[in-house]
Chain A
Amino acid sequence: EADIYQTPRYLVIGTGKKITLECSQTMGHDKMYWYQQDPGMELHLIHYSYGVNSTEKGDLSSESTVSRIRTEHFPLTLESARPSHTSQYLCASTGQGFTIYFGEGSWLTVV
């Protein structure tokens, strides 16, 4: 069973607010990923990390930022949320075995 957790699962916030979506894994995985997905739509890679202090932008341009200060933690931050940021955000991780583990997702609604 995957030990990767995302919080919050559901969040409704007002425009202009700052939010942080948390992602933690207890498997010691060095590689972690953030994806954005609208319901029924494509999974877009927005950020990834090879390890501590390494972050890269994905294929989809995003106004969010990420940090990787600890191996187990890969938070995603939106400094000023807008309605266009409304979506599901999925976190994933992988290690030496290359199996990808996904969190259950965070549903963000910006009103």
Chain B
Amino acid sequence: SQELEQSPQSLIVQEGKNLTINCTSSKTLYGLYWYKQKYGEGLIFLMMLQKGGEEKSHEKITAKLDEKKQQSSLHITASQPSHAGIYLCGARGSNYKLTFGKGTLLTVNP
């Protein structure tokens, strides 16, 4: 089955700093998803990437899918306390099965 590895597992940054979260798949990605989750709450959809080399941005968050479609990165520019939470990457395999990484816990200190 497809495995997703996220790094780092946790991250503490000072407000205003940039940061990057990585997601690496053991198999080719047919679709890569980024979600944010607050502790004990539901998932908030951030972005979906499908094509190799694709890059999408929303406000201060940018996500990229590499050409080989086995790795994605999520970059936050000028982080704010509102960015704090758990970031999850999810992958859609060739059989439409959807699996998720273990998540990255982001803390942003004011």
Binding site for B on A (CB under 8 A): 31, 33, 35, 39-40, 42-43, 45, 48, 50, 56, 58-59, 88, 90, 92, 94, 98-105
Contacts and interface: CB of A to CB of B under 8 A. Distances in A.
A33 B98 contact: yes
Contacts, number: 55
Contacts of A48: 96-98
Given A39-B40, A40-B86, A43-B88, A100 B45 contact: yes
A45 B98 contact: yes
B83 interface: no
Given A50-B96, A59-B1, 19 more contacts: A31-B96, A39-B40, A40-B86, A42-B103, A43-B100, A45-B100, A48-B97, A56-B97, A88-B40, A90-B42, A98-B48, A100-B90, A100-B98, A101-B45, A102-B42, A102-B45, A104-B42, A105-B41, A105-B42
Contact residues on B (Cβ < 8 Å of other chain), bracket? 20 to 34
Q: Is the interface of B mostly helix, strand, loop or mixed?
A: strand
A104 B43 CA distance: 8
Q: Interface residues of A: mostly helix, strand, loop or mixed?
A: strand
Contacts of B102: 42
B88 to A, nearest CB: 6
28 contacts: A31-B96, A33-B98, A35-B100, A39-B39, A39-B40, A40-B40, A40-B105, A42-B100, A42-B101, A43-B88, A43-B103, A45-B97, A48-B96, A56-B97, A58-B97, A59-B99, A90-B42, A94-B96, A94-B98, A98-B31, A98-B48, A98-B50, A99-B48, A100-B98, A102-B35, A102-B43, A103-B42, A105-B42
B92 A98 contact: yes
